[in-house]
Amino acid sequence: MSDTFREFFCEVIPIKLMEPLAGVLGALKEDDAVLEYRYADAVKLAGHACPTVTGAALHAGFKGLWNKFKRKDLLEFDAEKPDPGALSFRFERGNTRKSVLVHFYPQRIPFPQEKSNRMKELLEKVIWEAATGEEQREFQDLWMERVKLMIVDRKDLNKWLIMEQGGYS
């Protein structure tokens, strides 16, 4: 990886998967090749670094090829909250319909309260373009520290990210 990104990006475990669309369209030497997606790849595509990125899309997403490989309409939103204290997400495989329900409790992330408060204070200044260069860098460092704690260190992961098989539908 280049010197462009923070060092801890290399520590994030890559996601490995097969991408049939890339095979069908000839991007791969072998149709069943396994692709490796690194965190830096997601950051480049999304334009920012945060703990979450998804390739699924709403109505404006990729329509697919003859009802295959689509990304469009793969996201659905429901007013039902299985756990009012969490952000809950259900992920379902299109081919098997097996699903997992994920509960995310950002308030349980073991990030020191004084740092959270400072980050919130600095974020407001950054958004309103009132932050000095030093304040902007401080915000960036705090944000990246929290991201690293979540996706590399995984500190107290089972307290703030809980997964269960199946889930509401």
pLDDT digits (tens, 9 = 90+) for 57-103: 777 777 877 878 777 887 787 888 889 999 998 888 888 889 999 99
Per-residue pLDDT at 1 = 55
- Cα Rg for the chain, rounded, in angstroms? 19
For the stretch 39-63, pLDDT in tens is: 999 888 877 887 765 767 777 777 8
Write the secondary structure of 34-87 as one string of H (helix), E (strand) and C (coil). Answer: EEEECHHHHHHHHCCCCCCCCCCCCCCCCCCECCECCCCCCCCCCCCCCCCCCE
Contact criterion met (CB below 8 Å) for 50 and 123: no
Q: Is the pLDDT of residue 38 over 60?
A: yes
Average pLDDT over residues 102-106: 94
Average pLDDT value over all residues in the chain: 87
The answer to whether the Cα torsion of 138, 140, 145, 150 is positive or negative is positive
Q: Give 6-30 pLDDT, tens digit per residue.
A: 999 999 999 999 888 887 777 888 8
Q: Give pLDDT, residue 77.
A: 78
Which position has the higher pLDDT, 147 or 1?
A: 147
